[in-house]
Structure 1
């Protein structure tokens, strides 16, 4: 009999794996609604929905190997990163989803949230003031007009699976919606700046690198405290705090 593997578990959601089946348990059924709807619409390979019985969604495992993970060097060749870039471009060129959400938050609201979080990081002593101040300056480039695209919203490299130079599956679509395409590219290359050129080559169009770097700062500043409070280590080598330090 297959063992039960706990893939991720915290107060908001949990994902279990039993053989080739993943069971996603989420207290917020709206996230699961988005995940199911997005996987039915996107023009890239996704897991198959096996069944759904709230609060549980059962999906199939996708073939291939995850491109990598934050904090660890990726062993995948440049061609795999380029293939991922091409798949991301295909997603961004798809018709917009009928719901807003995703990484398409109001920029003024996002900037206000970022300023509040920066203040908490400094006053609590969680991060040095100069590190927070510098990254808040870098982050400003993200707050500019952009054309909405169909975005994944949480496109970590661990969510993209490849076999050679072919993308075989993209998982975890609960944050999908209308968003900034460069936010997806930034999330995907967070902590793996050395592969950014390969991704952009596959993506097939010029992108504003200052905006990519800005989103690295925004995402890292907003999540470091949450990660620490939920059992993750943003201070591990190559992770979010190192990403912030790289902007100094």
Structure 2
């Protein structure tokens, strides 16, 4: 079963003719999309057919672009995760550094302003250190490459390194406390951290890691608000082309799932009708 379907491709260029160098993270913002470049101090704001630069950080040693060939790769901010935030009075996009080096523990919060977007930058070194301790990984192996909002928390995803014994993992941080720390109203050291989960994705090319296999690792994350809804015809088992997903226990108000057709699921939820009455479908 295909996990991703590509509907189209588009080359992104700034108005001066230079290309968007990378798309390490992307999130909806305003009337378009905000694209993080992990090797630049600015993001790309894509609206319709126009791509404009949005400065996130000041130049580093006079550089706005970074590359291995000119010896500046270690200076890059390495923004690897972005997520649209809508929490109370704060609405915008939060972009996070990977934390793989001490200079990559900064985050940028982009919100809409009267005429131009506003950018708030914060150094969250103490929070990144708390995350590394909770994950049980040394700072040199810390590498956060994905994030998504789950209820009142921001879930961060650590990219694993099987050859060095580091598993992929996720960890939750308190979203409200995090935003307060970014705005300067809170202490990064007081942001709650917990609920560590580890994932063993295995390698390609064999069950065990060896010289011929390619270890799989988490490089991004997205939250899907999918509410499957079970139907009588599904016989409490949903079969797809490649696997079987079992339904949850029956409840008075539950989700019902319709059969997948050609690998697609009907995303429609309704209350379960009583056994003594036919009920109405919506």
TM range (shorter): under 0.3
Whichever of the two has the greater Rg, that structure is 2
Q: Which has the higher contact order (CA 8 A, sep 6+)?
A: 1
TM-score, with structure 1 as normaliser:
0.24
Question: Greater share of helix residues, 1 or 2?
Answer: 1
TM-score, with structure 2 as normaliser:
0.22
Question: Greater share of strand residues, 1 or 2?
Answer: 2
